[in-house]
A and B are shown apart, each in its own frame.
Chain A
Amino acid sequence: MQKFIPKRLSGVDLFLRLFQIAAVALILIAIFNTASEARYTASQWATLLFAGLAQGSIYALIALGYTLVYGILLMINFAHGEVYMAGAFSTVFLAAYFARTGFLNEQPWLAILIMILFAAAISTIVAVLLERIAYRPLRNAPRLIPLITAIGASFALQYTFRGLYGAEFRAYPEVAILRGNMNLFGFQVPVVQPFVFITALLLMGALYWYVERTKAGKAMRAVSEDKDVAKLMGVDIDKVIVTTFMLGGALAGAAGVFNGLFRPQGVFFLMGFFPGIKAFTAAVLGGIGNIPGAMIGGLLLGVIEALGPNLILEGLGIPSANQLKDAIAFIVLVMILIFRPQGIFGERLAEKKA
């Protein structure tokens, strides 16, 4: 793999610089407008912020899957959003069963724990199958080829789950203890949001511990530094790669359950597409290949997405700004890749990207 070479395209540089200045100016003007008109109260902003953090922690969990796989294989697992969908969609039936039998309200913590484990298991299985069938045989192929299989796998998974569970939305049952609001820093916040946020943080902490402190984690880091040397040191590359996919899958599955608890719209077979892209954006935002980067990037993206429409788009005088919410993640993605492709924390990309 050749070394990264800084390119000089001076005309292009100039244009991009102007573009960058314009974008920053536009954002500042918008924020100024919104602030000076005082359109929303502090508690309204707080509501948006807390919702953004909860949503962001879900992005972060999925983003870790992208980042882990990228760190090891230098490929973007395009179908990761579907891994997330698989766990979330499968677990809705278990949750419904728990609700029917009353278990969900008698032993809510245990029930949620079982649901998370179940979703993680399903997502893990899907992720491992994906690696085995679609990626492993192509490990030495040109970069374009695994990307195309990933796109194929993405569609195959979506429509397989549609075939299995049907095309309808299915909502997770409400959990009594997560209903209602609580007082946090003087603001009324739905209980489910801090719950999702804190549990997600715990999971991320566990992952960080695993990668940094265990032997398997050490092997993963070794493979991500240099595959050939790691192999010479006796690291079983295949095993490390499978472990990576399993970890990413498990976190995505857990994120699926949180999503179900958090959003009343329910789950369906195409639910993985947008969170997948957004989590990828989060991973790039934090610096792909960088584990803390994915966590911070996810939270940041959640907040940007929550505040963006009201803070920036309305400040620019755009009506019904919430319709453009999904576009914000894409705009953030394009902006980072143009102006800081290594992300917030990523220096490693520069060395690794061919």
Chain B
Amino acid sequence: MGNINWRTILRLGLLGSVVALYFSMIGMVEDFSNRNLIGDLLNLGHVLLYAGIAGGALFAAREHSESNTVGRGLIGLATGALGALLPSGLVLLSSAINMRTVFVNVNPALSNIITFGRGVPTGLLLFVLASAVVGLITALFTVLPETWRGPVGKSFGIVIISAVFSDLVRQVLTNIIGSGMVRSLYVGDAYRPLVAAVLFVGLIALFFWLDRRAKQSNETTAIPQTDAKARQAKNRRNIALFLGWGVFLLIAPWILGSFLSQVLFEIGRFVLLGLGLNIVVGYAGLLDLGYVAFFAFGAYTMGILTTTTAINPAPGVFTFWTALPIVVLVGVVFGLLLGFPVLRMRGDYLAIVTLGFGEIIRILALSDWLAPIMGGAQGILKIPNPVFFGLELNSPELMYYLVLAGSLLAAFISIRLRDSRLGRQWMAMREDEDVAEAMGINLVQTKLLAFAIGAGFSALGGAIFAARLSTIFPHSFNLLISINALSLIIVGGLGSIPGVIVGAIALVGLPELLREFQEYRLLMYGILLIVMMLLRPEGFIPAEVFKRELHSDEDTGGPPAVEAQV
């Protein structure tokens, strides 16, 4: 059976228990338990409650890689049961004394969830049993042969995730197979149990088959394809992928409906912001936490110039389109103005001063002093929607195209600049300011260009935002926008344009789809940022080193000649 390290089990079991206790006490388990995933059997609260326990058991089983099936099963049982310790303690304690006056979320509802509604003695026993079983199953999962583990793991993940985002999945399914069919698959928001089981088994079979096919094709094509052929195939695939995405992006709002178009708009808005911030932080390495300021300048400039209320100094002169160049210009000018004083700051100082700028702008926008210009706490009302050749862009579906166009433009400019002399200047400066200067790079100019271009994108985003909402308040421009934008480019991968898009979908899009999530969004951001920095600081899609050499025609192999060739 191998040696069982009880201290590891104790440590990991308690760690899992702490995680379960944490999610219980901060109210996530209870709030998330309203979201059923599979009938009445499994809800999101359960997933959260048992996630830590299962994690503990998983690691404990992995630590004992030399143990056999029975041994690992026992380890899983023990770790899982141990994981139940702290939540059980919490239930016992809260049944004895009223903890709600301090810990608002430790209430009977939570106890009910933990004890399956059976009360203290029986329910608690059930909970310990359930934890042990969860631990057992997780531990046994590690015993599965390699060929099975992948498909089972992936299928389980897909079932859970598709159930969590059932709003999105159902919306798409409804458009494809009709609402009647969809209703037969779901009960409320959750999968019918049978559907989930069929899906799970089906997915396992599918992945199993895919893996085998991939392996077979690897074996049959043991003879390496010529590089040219492979490249051609890859190019073709890329073009197909590109076209596919292009078509999807164009028709997306009409498949997804109004609510999801709104979500797409939000994603697009943050893609635009993220691309701008990516230039400043990702390329030039200037950590800017006051990025929201330029977004605010953009929104306010658009608001002031086009609103129909008394705040407009020149009512009726500007439309959205004629104001747009002015907005971008204002953004760029303020980017230069705010960039100037911080030219000589680096790293953390730069971060805090820019954060200060962002807050100063917000406080000023809120003040009575500037209220005659910026509207004060009431903000600016009645900003008209843009009109595009007679078509008023008044719905989320139509505004989506505007933000899509803006994002594409920003992505285009980002890519072009990245691969230019300026892009190399930025990156050299990010890597080593002193050496960059010794290469003949003018740091002042290079930094200011980064601030200015980044600010321009942000102002453009702000203008579109103002036109979409028709009303802007100082509170819409708080630090969280900056943090959101920063988080998404970090999670996606600093300096990586696909990373910005993935980051925006993950950090802006998904939370919109998960209503229960809203309250815990910033908590999750915080944890995600820490976890990302600890485990994968380069992000989900790390920025690639730009490849210029063609490997096919210049593969020298072996080490290069030592002798310099003159």
Contacts and interface: CB of A to CB of B under 8 A. Distances in A.
Interface of A: 2, 5, 7, 9, 11-12, 15-16, 19, 75-76, 78, 93, 133-134, 137-138, 141, 143-149, 151-160, 162-166, 273, 277, 280, 318-321, 323-324, 326-327, 330-331, 333-334, 337-338, 341, 353-354
Contacts of A141: 533, 537
A341 to B, nearest CB: 7
Looking at chain A's contact residues, is the secondary structure mostly helix, strand, loop, or mixed?
A: helix
Interface in B522-563: 522-523, 525-530, 533-534, 537
A144 B486 CA distance: 12
B104 interface: yes
Given A147-B347, A164-B26, A334-B357, A12 B340 contact: yes
Which of A19, A138, A327 has the largest number of chain B CB atoms within 10 A?
A327
Interface string B344-364: 111111011101110110011
Contacts of B443: 9
B105 interface: yes
Nearest to A329: B356
Which of A16, A75, A162, A273 has the largest number of chain B CB atoms within 10 A?
A162
Contacts, number: 154
B9 interface: no
A143 B101 contact: no
B367 interface: yes
Contacts of B342: 337-338
Contacts of A145: 533, 537
B248 interface: no
B355 A277 contact: yes
Contacts of A334: 341, 353, 356-357
A155 B287 contact: no
Nearest to A331: B360
Interface in B200-234: none
Given A137-B534, A327-B363, A153 B526 contact: yes
A163 B26 CA distance: 4
B432 to A, nearest CB: 9
B483 interface: yes
Which of A15, A144, A273 has the largest number of chain B CB atoms within 10 A?
A144
A152 B528 contact: yes
Contact of B529 (A148, A162, A337): A148
B104 A165 contact: yes
Contacts of B139: none
B160 interface: no
Contacts of A155: 483, 522-523, 525-526, 529
A105 B104 CA distance: 27
B352 A327 contact: no
A158 B103 CA distance: 15
Given A143-B347, A155-B526, A163-B28, 7 more contacts: A138-B534, A148-B486, A155-B483, A324-B364, A324-B367, A337-B342, A338-B341
Interface of B: 22, 25-28, 101-105, 285, 287, 289, 340-349, 351-353, 355-357, 359-360, 363-364, 366-369, 434, 443-444, 479, 483, 486-487, 490, 520, 522-523, 525-530, 533-534, 537
A30 to B, nearest CB: 14
Given A147-B351, A165-B104, A326 B530 contact: no
Contacts of A165: 102-104
Contact of B104 (A15, A76, A166, A323): A166
B523 A159 contact: yes
Nearest to B354: A334
B356 A19 contact: no
A316 B18 CA distance: 55
B526 A337 contact: no
Contacts of B490: 148
A330 B105 contact: no
A325 to B, nearest CB: 9
Contact of B523 (A143, A163, A333, A338): A163
B347 A19 contact: no
Which of B287, B444, B533, B537 has the largest number of chain A CB atoms within 10 A?
B533
B366 to A, nearest CB: 7
Given A138-B533, A155-B525, A19 B341 contact: yes
Contacts of B102: 93, 165
A337 to B, nearest CB: 5
A323 to B, nearest CB: 5
15 contacts: A2-B434, A9-B343, A145-B537, A147-B351, A148-B486, A149-B530, A149-B534, A151-B289, A155-B525, A155-B526, A158-B522, A163-B27, A164-B26, A166-B104, A330-B360
A152 B484 CA distance: 11
B520 A159 contact: yes
A352 B279 CA distance: 28
A121 to B, nearest CB: 16
B355 to A, nearest CB: 7
A331 B522 CA distance: 27
Nearest to B531: A152
Which of A93, A326, A337, A354 has the largest number of chain B CB atoms within 10 A?
A337
B25 A337 contact: no
A12 B444 contact: yes
A32 B525 CA distance: 48
B485 to A, nearest CB: 12
A277 B28 contact: no
A141 B366 CA distance: 39
Contact of B359 (A159, A323, A330): A330
A4 B534 CA distance: 29
Nearest to B23: A163
Contacts of A93: 101-102
A159 B348 contact: no
A163 B105 contact: yes
Nearest to B355: A277
8 shortest A-B CB distances, which residue pairs?
Answer: A163-B26, A152-B529, A156-B526, A155-B526, A159-B523, A330-B356, A166-B104, A327-B363
Nearest to A330: B356
A11 B343 CA distance: 12
B344 A12 contact: yes
B530 A153 contact: yes
A61 to B, nearest CB: 19
Which of B344, B348, B349 has the largest number of chain A CB atoms within 10 A?
B348
Nearest to B432: A2
A157 B529 CA distance: 13
A152 B490 CA distance: 11
A337 B345 contact: yes
Contacts of A15: 340
A16 B345 CA distance: 13
A320 B368 contact: yes
Which of A145, A146, A149, A326 has the largest number of chain B CB atoms within 10 A?
A149
Contact of A156 (B341, B344, B364, B530): B530
A138 B529 CA distance: 13
Contact of A324 (B340, B363, B537): B363
Nearest to A15: B340
Nearest to B103: A164
Nearest to A5: B434
B530 A133 contact: yes
